[in-house]
C-alpha cells in the first residue's frame, strides 16, 4: 500500500475527493506520509444529509444518499468546480466520490452494507463501481477495507498501481466490486 501511496503522490495528478458514510480513512492514509498536498487539492466529508444533497446537486426526489446517481453527481460537480485550478493542473485532475452505508449500532435487518464509488478524469472514461461489503466484517474492518480499496482504485485509475487488483482485495475480505456503466 505504501508503494501505491508514494506513486500517487508523485503522479502529477490533482485530486478532488468527497467521501461520505465510510472510507474516510482514505484521507489519513493518503496524507500521513507527507507530500499529500501535491495530489489532494480538495477533500470534503459531507456527513449530514443536507450537505451531501448540496454536494450531489441537482438532487432528484427518491435519490438515495448511497447510489450511483449521487456518486456521479458529486464527481461531475467536483469536476465543474475545478476551474480555479491552474490550466496545467486541470489536465491531470481526477474527481473521486464515495458514499457508503456500513454496519452500525442500530443495525436494521436486511440492510445492505455497500458503497458507490465514482471516478472522473479529463483523459479517462468515467468509472462507477458498487462495492458490497461483507456483513461478517466489523464496522472498523469495513472502514479499513473501503479506505484501502479507494486508494487501490485511484491508483489503478491513474495508472500507477503496482500492488494487486482492488477486486482481488475485496474478494479476500468476502466483499465484492461490480463496475457499472456511467449514467451519463
**pLDDT number for residue 184:** 67
**Separation between Cα atoms, residue 24 and residue 52, nearest integer Å:** 14
Architecture of domain 2-180: Alpha-Beta Complex (3.90)
Could you tell me the three cell numbers for 63?
435519490
**pLDDT number for residue 34:** 86
**pLDDT number for residue 52:** 84
Neighbour-count burial for 112-145, b at 16+ CB within 10 Å, e otherwise: ebbbbbbbbbeeeebbbbbbebeeebeeebbbbb
Closest by CA to 55, choosing from 97, 26, 93, is 97
Q: Where are the domains of the chain?
A: 2-180
**pLDDT number for residue 128:** 92
Instruction: Say what angle helices 139-158 and 2-9 make with each other, to 10 degrees.
Output: 50
Q: Please count the other Cβ atoms lying within 10 Å of the Cβ belonging to residue 163.
A: 14
- For residue 131, the surrounding DSSP H or E stretch is strand 127-132
* CA 181 to each of CA 69, 127, 128, 147: distance values in angstroms, whole numbers, following the listed order: 11, 7, 7, 23
Q: Which residues of the chain have pLDDT under 50?
A: none
Tens-digit pLDDT profile for residues 58-105: 777 777 888 899 999 999 889 888 877 777 666 788 999 999 998 887
Amino acid at each position: 500500500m505504501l508503494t501505491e501511496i508514494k506513486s500517487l503522490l508523485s503522479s502529477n495528478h490533482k485530486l478532488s475527493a468527497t467521501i461520505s458514510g465510510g472510507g474516510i480513512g482514505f484521507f489519513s492514509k493518503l496524507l500521513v506520509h507527507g507530500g499529500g498536498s501535491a495530489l489532494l487539492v480538495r477533500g470534503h466529508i459531507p456527513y449530514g444529509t443536507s450537505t451531501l444533497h448540496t454536494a450531489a446537486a441537482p438532487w432528484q426526489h427518491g435519490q438515495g444518499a448511497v447510489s450511483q446517481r449521487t456518486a456521479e453527481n458529486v464527481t461531475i460537480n467536483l469536476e465543474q468546480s475545478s476551474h480555479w485550478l491552474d490550466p496545467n493542473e486541470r489536465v491531470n485532475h481526477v474527481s473521486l466520490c464515495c458514499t457508503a452505508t456500513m454496519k452500525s449500532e442500530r443495525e436494521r435487518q436486511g440492510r445492505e452494507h455497500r458503497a458507490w464509488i465514482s471516478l472522473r478524469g479529463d483523459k479517462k472514461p468515467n468509472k462507477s463501481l458498487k462495492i458490497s461489503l461483507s456483513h461478517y466484517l466489523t464496522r472498523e474492518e469495513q472502514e479499513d477495507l473501503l479506505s484501502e480499496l479507494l486508494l487501490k482504485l485511484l491508483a489503478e485509475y491513474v495508472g500507477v498501481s503496482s500492488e494487486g487488483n482492488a477486486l482481488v482485495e475485496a474478494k479476500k475480505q468476502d466483499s465484492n466490486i461490480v463496475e457499472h456503466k456511467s449514467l451519463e
